């Protein structure tokens, strides 16, 4: 394409489509649904998860630890006043640990697929702090699904201050963060999915 003619809005959409793969970049945190964080020109944006991906995630609600996670999730948001009554930030951090193939990420995705019509779930690694600040500003509940926790604090030691409460934004509706940590216990065949070996602990 050598040149294009159009309105400012259409040119902006064409530029976004060429550079980021999307005609419209949603830079405001949605209030519900499942979204993925992308980055374009130094600014993060929210891209909606595909319908097929959501349907695929929902089938993992049969995971043996799903009910336990779901009960904790519902208890936290239904009793959020308990977690904010003394000025706390209202943040719940969940750490999944276990060997590869135990469902650490998929169990969180299944929760998102089930409650997407009521809450906003965001897949965010590097930008999870920005999502927390945006949710606190909008005063909406948010659930963030991150990846390997080790990679997060290696890149930025300030993340630890954010997670331990010193720099955590206060969000009265609550924000819940899911992290995972892979524990390798010898060689594991790629075909094995040891669901029973998934353990969880709370930071």
């550079």: which residue's tokens? 19
- Work out the percent of the chain whose per-residue pLDDT is above 90: 37
pLDDT digits (tens, 9 = 90+) for 25-82: 677 889 999 998 877 666 677 788 888 988 999 999 999 999 999 999 999 999 999 9
Q: What share of the chain is helix, strand, coil (3-state, %, to 5)?
A: 40, 25, 35
Contact 96, 60 (CB under 8 A): no
Residue 50 DSSP label: P
Pick the residue with more confidence: 72 or 160? 72
- Work out the percent of the chain whose per-residue pLDDT is above 70: 69
- Cβ atoms < 10 Å from Cβ of 143: 26
Rounded to a whole number of angstroms, the distance between the first and last alpha carbons of the chain is 52
Pick the residue with more confidence: 22 or 190? 22
When the candidates are 1.10.1060, 1.10.10, 3.30.1120, 3.40.50, the CATH number that belongs to 27-201 is 3.40.50
Determine the pLDDT at residue 48. Answer: 86
Contact 47, 36 (CB under 8 A): yes
What is the token pair recorded at 26?
A: 């949603």
What is the token pair recorded at 125?
A: 């690694």
| Boundaries of every domain in the chain | 27-201
Determine the pLDDT at residue 83. Answer: 92
Length of the chain counted residue by residue: 203
pLDDT averaged over every residue in the chain: 78
């Amino acid at each position: 394409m050598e040149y294009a003619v159009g309105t400012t809005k259409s040119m902006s959409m064409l530029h976004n489509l060429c550079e980021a793969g999307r005609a419209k970049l949603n830079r405001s945190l949605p209030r519900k649904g499942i979204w993925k964080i992308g980055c374009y020109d130094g600014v993060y944006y929210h891209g909606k998860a595909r319908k097929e991906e959501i349907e695929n995630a929902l089938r993992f609600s049969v995971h043996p630890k799903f009910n336990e996670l779901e009960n904790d999730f519902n208890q936290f948001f239904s009793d959020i006043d308990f977690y904010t009554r003394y000025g706390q930030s209202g943040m719940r951090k969940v750490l999944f640990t276990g060997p590869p193939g135990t469902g650490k990420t998929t169990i969180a995705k299944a929760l998102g697929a089930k409650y997407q019509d009521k809450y906003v779930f965001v897949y965010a690694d590097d930008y999870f702090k920005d999502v927390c600040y945006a949710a606190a500003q909008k005063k909406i509940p948010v659930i963030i699904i991150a990846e390997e926790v080790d990679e997060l604090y290696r890149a930025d030691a300030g993340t630890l201050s954010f997670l331990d409460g010193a720099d955590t934004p206060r969000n009265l509706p609550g924000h819940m963060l899911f992290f995972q940590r892979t524990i390798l216990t010898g060689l594991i065949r790629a075909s094995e999915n040891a669901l029973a070996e998934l353990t969880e602990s709370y930071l």
